[in-house]
Structure 1
Amino acid sequence: MKTIVASHILVAHEYEVSDLQRKLSEGVSFEELARDYSLCPSGKQGGNLGRFSPGQMVKPFSLAAFKLEVGEISEPVRTQFGFHLIKRIE
């Protein structure tokens, strides 16, 4: 079964995602933003969720994560937890 490694930043509101995307475009690292803004405990590790397979995460998150190329960052993904930006690591 195919697995990937990904990181994410979880925020409560969609407008926060726009601010994060702007900071990313200005050169702030994804990992730094995750540590500073993510509501998920994984933020302490720069958002790293480790290795997971399809179906281990909630469906909208999993579908978006598995579509990404390595190094690519997703558009905002809404789940019952809030809004995510996802970065595929491997």
Structure 2
Amino acid sequence: SLQVRHILCEKHGRAMEAMEKLKSGQRFSEVASQYSEDKARQGGDLGWMTRGSMVGPFQEAAFALPVSSMDKPVYTDPPVKTKFGYHIIMVEGRK
């Protein structure tokens, strides 16, 4: 299972704006709070997720990412498109 964080934007343009903020060094959790439309999750934290609990493209992208930290995040670039919109995904843990 993976400990996953994401930023979800319905519109591609908004996801790209969020991506620019990340590239300029803003913290993933801050960008998530500002841009993510998944308001239920604080700072984009989805907690621990297992295979089969995520939509296909999201799952493939998440499992392909290395574990990284908020200080040096490695995230999906370009954002991953699912039926929910565009996701910028990072993985904070794996077990």
- Match for residue 50 of structure 2? 53
* Number of residues of Structure 1 aligned to a counterpart in Structure 2: 87
Quote the offset at 1:39 in angstroms: 0.6
- Percent identical residues: 38
2:11 aligns with: 13
Task: Show structure 1 runs of 4+ deviating over 4 A.
Answer: none
Residues 14 and 35, structure 2, Cα contact 8 Å, conserved in 1: no
SS of equivalent residue, structure 2 residue 17: helix
Equivalent position amino acid for 1:15 in 2: G
Partner of 2:80: 77
Correspondence for 2:30: 32
In structure 2, list runs of 5 or more residues that go unmatched: 69-73
Relative to the length of structure 1, the TM-score reads 0.90
Structure with the higher helix share, 1 or 2: 1
CA displacement 1:25-82 (0-9 Å, x = unmatched): 1111110011111111344x11000001111011110110000001120121011110
Structure 1 unaligned runs (5+)? none
Residue 92 of structure 2: aligned partner: 89
